[in-house]
Amino acid sequence: MPRPRRRLAGTCIGTVTAGLLATGAALAAPDEDRIKDSGTAMGAYLDYGPSGVARIPHLSRWLGGREIRVGHTYLPGDQWAGIEGRVSFLEDWARWRLADDDRMFVLNVPMQARNEARVPDQQVAQLIRAGARGEHDEHFRRLAERLVSLGVPDTVIVLGWEMNGVTYTHRCGPDPANWKLYWRRVVTVMRSVPGQEFKFDFAPNRGTDAIGWTKCYPGDGYVDIIGMDSYDQGPGQTFDDQISQPYGLQQHVDFARAHGKAISYPEWGLFRRGDNPEYVRRMLQWIAQHKPLYHTITDYCPHGVWQCKQNPASTKVFRDALTPEAPGPVVPTPVVPTPVVPTPVVPTPVVPTPVVPTPGIPTPQVPTPQVPTPQVPTPQVPTPDVPTPQVPTPEATEPSPVEPSPAVPSPEVPLPVTPSPLVPSPVAPSPEAPEPVTPSPEVPRPSPVTPSPVATAPVTPGPVVPKPQPTPVKPAPQPQQPPLGSRQWCVPVNLGEWLSKLVGKQSVCFKIDLGDGSGFWPF
């Protein structure tokens, strides 16, 4: 498209680009048209040299503190020295870029010298073929080395912009096939420089212009971004026409999406229709909707809205849309104190847990009783000498004098009492009886019937196990037995167990004398 008095050869009069981070721009129009910030990097072309760098913070303050993330300028295309980057203002832009990692430096680079000299198509075709043969490679190698040395190896290179138009010597129309080969050579040479991280932006003018811009596309391997310069001019009378026209805004978005590329708007602004706030509003809405990598508005007359004062309505829309919405006054939320209802603290009674001591039960040491094995003596049962009853004669010698008992025996014969066999118990000798008296076996009394000469069989007493006595007991005195063959008879008296233990065993003795020859057996 024509650029009246925009790029004068040798003066590098800045072609304005500039972009404003459209992404977050809430449109300046009425509140209903305000758009949320989309996050797109925004900038503006303010001037090509140091003055352009110096104006960036002023534009930011005018927009209410919005950050200007894109710095945009152009290399002069009148001589190859300018295209090689041998200009001092590149250092100013490099310092601005390096001050913040979030910033982006966009540099428009011509592809031919005498770029705005109105060179005819025949000469343009010859220059294109020379470039395709590699005759201009060294110029672009020097530019790449210059940018890397300045510390801006990630510069966005807008190479041969608006190549589908009729204005510039680097236009594509005279020889599209060789033009694409020439673009590829430039990109290949610049990418061969060590340390480079360049991104190449293919940016035609909106619409068909001299040739459909898709016929100049050099291929996905040589393009990183597909941009578009879109000013408020024909073809098309309305913004909707600019969207739907051949090679218009919609085809640009669709083409980039089909090739997997990001989009950009390196140049946009007012041009042939004067102050047009509707165009500014719709363009900002389009940018916010499609989220390009970056956009820059060309801000000098007749295109601009900040340095150019002839477009006040468009200026207001632009400023209102991109100024961050100022926060309203902070109205403190009334704090309604929540009444604190004290929760009654009911003390939980502490019931002491009784400590029951575990009784230490000593293990009783039960002595094993030493039970002595009783030595059971074999009782020596004396064979009783049963006296043969003899009828005493009057001439019998009297036994030892014993006083006769005055008692007269009853003529009745008493029943014979079977004596229990007496088990001898060991008796300690008493002082009165120095020698132990061996008890004589009780002789059963004879019945009145004449006894048989056969003696009664003696009863063998059972063995008595002696019980251990801790203290020896003094034995009670035993009654004397009358001598064998005496007429004195002794009958044991049972005084009871306890009295017997006290006084000893007693017997009553008596003597019966019926005279000689009485013929009766005494009992």
Give mean pLDDT, residues 491-507: 65
What pLDDT is attached to residue 236? 84
Separation CA 239–CA 282 (nearest Å): 7
How confident is the model at residue 39, as a pLDDT? Answer: 76
Which is higher by pLDDT, 1 or 310? 310
Please state the separation of Cα 317 from the chain's center in Å: 55
Q: What is the mean pLDDT of residues 191-209?
A: 97
The pair of structure tokens assigned to 113 is 């010298």
Q: Is the pLDDT of residue 370 over 70?
A: no
Domain topology for 18-322: TIM Barrel (3.20.20)
Pairwise CA distance, residues 464 & 460, whole Å: 12
**pLDDT-derived band at 461, boundaries 50, 70, 90:** very low
HSE-CB at 243 with a 13 A cutoff on CA atoms is 10
What value does the mean pLDDT of the chain take? 76
Tokens representing 287 are: 């940018």
Q: Which residue has the higher pLDDT, 25 or 268?
A: 268
pLDDT digits (tens, 9 = 90+) for 34-69: 555 567 999 999 999 999 999 999 999 999 999 999
pLDDT for 428 = 42
Pairing of strands 506-511, 225-227: unpaired
> Per-residue pLDDT tens for 137-175?
999 999 999 999 999 999 999 999 999 999 999 999 999
**The two structure tokens encoding residue 519:** 């013929």
User: Quick one: tokens of 12?
Assistant: 């590098």
Structure tokens, 307: 């340095």
- Band (pLDDT 50/70/90 cuts) for residue 408 is very low
Of all residues in the chain, what percent carry a pLDDT higher than 90? 54
pLDDT of residue 358: 63
pLDDT in tens, 471-481: 444 444 555 55
* H-assigned helices in 260-408: 277-290, 312-322
* Helix, strand, coil share of the chain (percent; to 5): 25, 10, 65
Q: Tell me the two tokens of residue 513.
A: 């004398």
Q: How confident is the model at residue 327 (pLDDT cuts 50, 70, 90)?
A: low
Q: What separation in angstroms does the CA of 114 have from each of 106, 119, 127, 299, 522?
A: 22, 8, 11, 25, 192
Q: Specify the pLDDT at position 9.
A: 36
The rounded distance, in Å, linking the Cα atoms of 279 and 273 is 10
Q: How far is CA 482 from CA 128, 309, 485, in A?
A: 181, 178, 8
* H helix or E strand, kind and range, residue 239: helix 239-244
Calculate what percentage of the chain has a pLDDT beyond 70. Answer: 55
First to last CA, the chain: 184
Residue 144: the pLDDT is 98
**What does the DSSP 8-state code read for residue 492?**
E
For residue 350, count CB atoms less than 10 angstroms from its CB and return exposed for 0-12, middle for 13-18, buried for 19 or more: exposed
The 10 Å Cβ neighbour count of residue 80 is: 17
**292, 265 Cβ separation under 8 angstroms:** yes
pLDDT at 235: 85
Each domain of the chain, given as residue ranges in start order, spans: 18-322, 477-523
The residue type found at 196 is Q
Rg (the chain; Cα; Å): 76
